[in-house]
Amino acid sequence: MVLLQKHLIMIVITGAAGFIGSVVAGYLNEEKYENLVLVDAFNRQDKMINYENKKFKQLVERDAIFEWIEKNHKDVDWVIHLGARTDTTEFDVKVFDKLNLNYSKDIWKICTKYEIPLIYASSAATYGMGEFGYEDNHAIVDELKPLNPYGESKNDFDKWALGQTETPSFWAGLKFFNVYGPNEYHKGRMASVIFHAYKQIKEKGTVNLFRSHHPDFEDGMQLRDFIYVKDVSKVIYFLMKNKPANGLYNLGTGKARAFLDLAKSTFRALGKTPEISFVDTPIDIRDKYQYFTEAKMDKLRKAGYKEKFISLEEGVDDYVKNYLETWRCF
């Protein structure tokens, strides 16, 4: 991608009114890509702030994108498919079959038909309790046991994609770990723990974390691989520029961190003394609660990605001071 050609490169982004999709659009704007086609169900007022100030060519409704690509495929250089139903508390499998599995298959098929390179969002939810580890190894995908219909829908599509003999000219499925950062204001219960910690501190001056119900973990020492959404955008851009081997790639930092560290970082960003208490993990999720996730990042590193990932402390500080405190979007 030569600098002079950036204004000509057309990139279709699904889920562009949502959290990660809108940040990716903003990052591409910063890199001087403005020939963007933003795809979503544009019926939610609370999502407008995520895209109203972006530079783009066109907004296309989610269900109209296939007809649009049929008419405009000669101009489309990339599809970045980030649209999905991401509610892990939703248990209606039909919802996930429609919006995550079958919609993604249709995206894949039209990209294959017109030889359009595709990057899509998978999820670390595919790894379930981590019985088979957290390595982005294609050989274990059939064995994975996700804990909810959302994770199952993502793994079902990964399995389907790996079984295809006809593929887009390039494809990569990104297994997002715990992504946090600006533009998630609309997500409610599904927003990151940092977002909820910030709100609790502002409203009550304290943060509640889940108590540990596992003998090997102290309260607050449950571990997750938290990745800042700006790093997610950088990796997607790297894949676009370099097109390494087709396949699934983990996208975390490779370093698990405690929820206690997260809460303390949020207090520190606000210049406040930590006040942290613990509450029982809700019964409805307790038996499926992950106490440890950590992305194995060897594959992406071997593919040539050399950037240092933003630390939890740096990411929380930037998120709180530059976005949450002003309710600003990226």
CA distance 64 to 266: 41
In degrees, to the nearest 5, what angle opens at C-alpha 254 toward C-alphas 249 and 260? 130
Find the catalytic residue in 127, 150, 180, 237. Answer: 150
What are the residue ranges of helices labelled H in 13-148?
19-30, 48-51, 65-72, 93-96, 103-113
Strands (E), 42-144: 58-61, 76-81, 118-123
237 is a catalytic site residue = no
The DSSP secondary structure of 144-193, one letter per residue, reads: ---SSHHHHHHHHHHHHHHT-SS--SSEEEEEE-EEE-TT-TT-GGGS-H
- Residue bearing tokens 């993604």: 104
Residue 322: which residues within 8 A CB-CB, separation 6 or more?
182, 328
**Element spanning 34, H or E:** none
| Residue 136 amino acid letter | D
**Element spanning 141, H or E:** none
CA distance 58 to 34: 10
CA distance 312 to 266: 10
74 is a catalytic site residue = no
Closest CA to 29 of 46, 59, 48, 51: 51
Closest CA to 114 of 141, 138, 79: 79
115: which 2 tokens?
A: 């030889």
CA distances from 51 to 38, 55, 75 (A): 9, 8, 22
* DSSP designation for 292: B
Find the catalytic residue in 109, 145, 187, 255. Answer: 187
CA distance 62 to 69: 12
180: which 2 tokens?
A: 């946090």
Question: Which residues form the catalytic set?
Answer: 150, 187
